[in-house]
Amino acid sequence: MPDPLSSPETPQDAVPAAPSRRELNKAATRQAITDAALGLLRSKGPGNFTVEDIADTAGISRRTFFNYFSSTDAALASIVHGFLDNAIQQLRLRPAGEPMLESAQAALVALADPKAIAPLAELFSLTQQSPLMSHTELEAWDHCRAQVFTVARERLAGTPGERDELYVHALAGSIISCGKAAMEVWFSRRGPDLSPASLAELRQLLIDAMALLGAGFTTTAFPSATRSS
């Protein structure tokens, strides 16, 4: 049976085109900006640096900065996008007919290296310790919600009875809320600890949160969701 995600124009096993030099340069500039933003955050602390500081550290102009990001908050929030993009890529690789919540859990399981979650953990830790970074946290979660919404909409577009906008919004919102809950539980246990063991626990909490959501929050069906460390 042909794969519904495949088509003659875009076969599933097609080799993706290599990125152009321009694309590579743009990616490098974007990475330099986020690296500079994180470095300044670590050295100067929240609220103690500007767009100009980030641009100077990254070796670019202020105008170039705004070609990539709208604010310091947006630049900092993008630190987590690498993890998110990997998770979304794994989500898109799941079978088209698989329930969305099972796919979300499997996508997180596929990200086996706990270090992959380090940027997400570090940014969350910093936002919890500083009210000045509340906007950064909102930027990051809004980006997550938008990405999950897009994938959910794509996955459910051809499913009768599941095309309603409210359904897709509620599904994406629920996934993000469970992700935030897992992060909050992790931080309450570990604080700013970014050790491999702590990151592994965070990854498992995210997986458990998706499974709990999929089980309809029935703890008898998923008792490990309520276990303590």
Distance CA 186, CA 190 (A): 6
Q: What is the pLDDT of residue 78?
A: 87
Query: Which residues of 55-213 form beta strands (DSSP E)?
Result: none
- Cα–Cα distance between 79 and 165 in angstroms, integer? 29
What is the predicted pLDDT for the residue at 187?
A: 94
| Distance from C-alpha of 192 to C-alpha of 55, rounded to nearest angstrom | 28
pLDDT at 48 (0 to 100): 92
pLDDT on residue 29: 95
Identify the segments of the chain with pLDDT beneath 70: 1-17, 158-163, 219-229
pLDDT of residue 194: 92
